[in-house]
Amino acid sequence: MTQAAALLQNLAAAGFVALGVAIAYRWYRERGRAQAMLALALITLAVVAALGRVGDPQHPLAVLSLVEIVGFLLSGYFVLLFRNEFIPLGSFAFQAANLLLAISIVVGILDVTALAHADPRVATVIVLEIIGAWAIFTGEPIARFWLASRNLPAVQRARMRFLSFGFAVLIAILFISVLGGSALRSPTAIVVTELVVLMVIPAIYVSFAPPALLRRIWRMGEEDELRAAIQDLLIFSPTREVLAERAATWAMRLLGGNAAFITDPDGKFIANAGIDPARAAHLMAEQRKNPLGAPDRVVAVPLPLTDGQGSLGVVAGPFSPVFGTEEITQLRAYASSVSAGLERARVTERMAAIESNKTQFLNLASHELRGPVTVIRGYVSMLEGGLLGHLNDRGRKAAAMMSAKASEMNELIDEMVEAARLEDGGLTLKLVESDLRDIARSATFSVAPLVDSRHQVDLDLPERRVRVKVDPDRTKTIIANLLSNAIKYSPNGGPITCHVRARAGIARVAVSDHGLGIAPQNLHMLFTRFGRVITPETEHLKGTGLGLFLGRQLARLQGGDITVISVPGKGSTFTLHLPSASAAEASANGATSSAHGAAGEERVHTNRRSTD
């Protein structure tokens, strides 16, 4: 057992030496002040461990002991400096640490010289002081890193925790072996502690230079989250910039970097996460100038876009593990998804711009049309009024026809203005509590001029009030539009009914005709902007294709909808659904509208329709 213990002690010491050498080699390759501090800490620790196995433990050489003690203290101090590199210590804390180091070294010198053969209790106190100082030097960074790691990407977090864990175990072993006294001097206890030390060595090494396998394991959590989020990221990001910004952040998380950026083919930065463009550009230039100079600190992969090749880059932070082949492959795969997303966003934005141009055109055209219509209507009305001289019967008939057509034109312009307003978010509803029966009545009255001998419009109203909270003018327009469609698309006449009912919190106005009907495959076109169903029977009928589009949009803004049931050749029923006044209260703050009370009326603003 004693032999086993000695063997394990030798092994642990050899392990520390190997650790020191490996880390010295990595440091030689990578450089960097923070890494240097950690490397120094581990190398001095390795030296101490090695010296501990040299010579006779019963009769230690004083010089050797002093080197051991100072090396041991310095190894702790270097861990503190390592921490100081990226979480700077306060000047007071730094001076206190220096003082503690100085005192401990003095105590160490006293220990190996003056007090070498003092009372064992004094010796224990001295050892405790030295180990205590070391524990403070390493313990503070361990706690600090552990706390700081919570806000870092998973890969960096895992790496920091490995480091914290390794040092924490070393502190624990040192304290236990000193405080435990003779109980822990037994070979069994030594075997156990040395085994633990042997297990800790890889943990510390891994924290310094994590192998690809471990990096992959650390990344797994992030990859799972990315898989879940990638659809949102690529498809539902509102703009190309937002998408790029999100994609960069994910790239950073995925590789455990501190910053990430995305550039367009012309080198323009479209996203910078955690880095300013100038710094990113500088790093990229450095990388290009000297690809081997600072290996693994910046990794950039090409981003194929339609107009050339952009790039997606991740910049390492102090805790980022190395960026190996594995990471580059991963980033390339990710970059191709990001490319697809960015291209989609570009197409969507172009389409939105076209939509917006359409809306602007509609807006401009409709307002420009109002000028000429004003003059036509004005002069026609003056002609009709006899102001411009007397007309004969035929002239009067022509004037009346022109007047009717000019009014129709005016209504079409109003529809276009309303559609443009709806699209660009300028629509304002004035919600008032009303009786739907009154609105249906006035709508029926307003279409009376369209009704000829072949048609008959029946108004079917309930006896009780149908309370709704709506914009009365617009609701009247919706119903009047349904009625005028019913008349227009019943060229052979037949009864048309306007049926008003309220049930289960929903008020309905159903307009039924016995007209042409609509084929099922054409129903989807009805409610689209400018969507008209053109068939041989309807091609001669005029319309903008805006009426039902507006009707449905306005109904939805008021918490309702328009639905249709139609049988070709038999007729159609269009139903306007609106929440009853009591139900409307509850849904007034529903998803489609935001209501602001203003002097007894509520205004509901539309939002720009997203084009997805």
Partner 1 sequence: MPAGPLEAGILARWQLSGRGSPAHVLMIEDDATIADMYRVQLEHDGYRVTIATTAELGFTTMTANPPDIVLLDLLLPDRSGFEVLASLNERFPSHPPVVILSNYGEPAMIDRGRSLGAVEYLVKSRVTPADISGQIPTWIELGRRGGQGES
Cβ nearer to partner 1, comparing 370 with 508: 370
CA atoms within 13 A on the CB side of 375: 4
Residue 599 binds to partner 1 (criterion: CB under 8 A) = no
Residue 388 binds to partner 1 (criterion: CB under 8 A) = yes
Pairing of strands 455-460, 494-503: parallel
Of the listed pieces 374-382, 477-485, 501-509, 519-527, which binds partner 1 according to CB under 8 A? 374-382
Interacting residue with partner 1 among 374, 528, 582, 607 (CB under 8 A): 374
| 8 Å CB contact between 504 and 462 | no
> How many Å apart are CA 413 and CA 306, to the nearest integer?
41
Of the listed pieces 27-35, 204-212, 320-328, 362-370, which binds partner 1 according to CB under 8 A? 362-370
Of the listed pieces 65-73, 191-199, 375-383, 456-464, which binds partner 1 according to CB under 8 A? 375-383
* Residue 367 Cβ vs partner 1, minimum distance, rounded to whole Å: 5
Exposed/middle/buried for residue 106 (C-beta within 10 Å: 0-12, 13-18, 19+): exposed
| 8 Å CB contact between 437 and 464 | no
Cβ nearer to partner 1, comparing 328 with 376: 376
Of the listed pieces 50-58, 90-98, 411-419, 576-584, which binds partner 1 according to CB under 8 A? 411-419
Residue 382 binds to partner 1 (criterion: CB under 8 A) = yes
Cβ nearer to partner 1, comparing 111 with 602: 602
Of the listed pieces 143-151, 288-296, 377-385, 499-507, which binds partner 1 according to CB under 8 A? 377-385
CA dihedral defined by 241, 244, 250, 251, rounded to 10 degrees? -150
Of the listed pieces 232-240, 384-392, 457-465, 493-501, which binds partner 1 according to CB under 8 A? 384-392
| Length of the chain measured in residues | 612
> How many Å apart are CA 70 and CA 363, to the nearest integer?
83
Single-letter amino acid, residue 252: M
Tokens read off for 422: 């709806």
Residue 512 parent element (H or E): strand 506-512
Residue 607 binds to partner 1 (criterion: CB under 8 A) = no
Residues 421-480 within binding reach of partner 1 (CB under 8 A): 421, 426, 428
Radius of gyration of the chain (CA): 41
**H helix runs in 303-392, sequence order:** 325-384
Of the listed pieces 71-79, 96-104, 344-352, 413-421, which binds partner 1 according to CB under 8 A? 413-421
Cβ nearer to partner 1, comparing 249 with 407: 407
**H helix runs in 119-263, sequence order:** 120-149, 154-179, 187-208, 212-235, 240-255
* Residue 371 Cβ vs partner 1, minimum distance, rounded to whole Å: 6
- Among residues 168, 176, 148, 177, the alpha carbon closest in space to that of 160 is found at 148
| 8 Å CB contact between 156 and 254 | no
* Residue 399 Cβ vs partner 1, minimum distance, rounded to whole Å: 12
Cβ nearer to partner 1, comparing 421 with 455: 421
Residue 373 binds to partner 1 (criterion: CB under 8 A) = yes
* Residue 424 Cβ vs partner 1, minimum distance, rounded to whole Å: 11
* Residue 603 Cβ vs partner 1, minimum distance, rounded to whole Å: 9
Residue 580 DSSP code:
B
Cβ nearer to partner 1, comparing 120 with 385: 385
| 8 Å CB contact between 308 and 315 | no
Residue 291 binds to partner 1 (criterion: CB under 8 A) = no
Interface positions with partner 1 (CB under 8 A) = 367-368, 370-371, 373-375, 377-379, 381-382, 385, 387-388, 410, 413-414, 417, 421, 426, 428
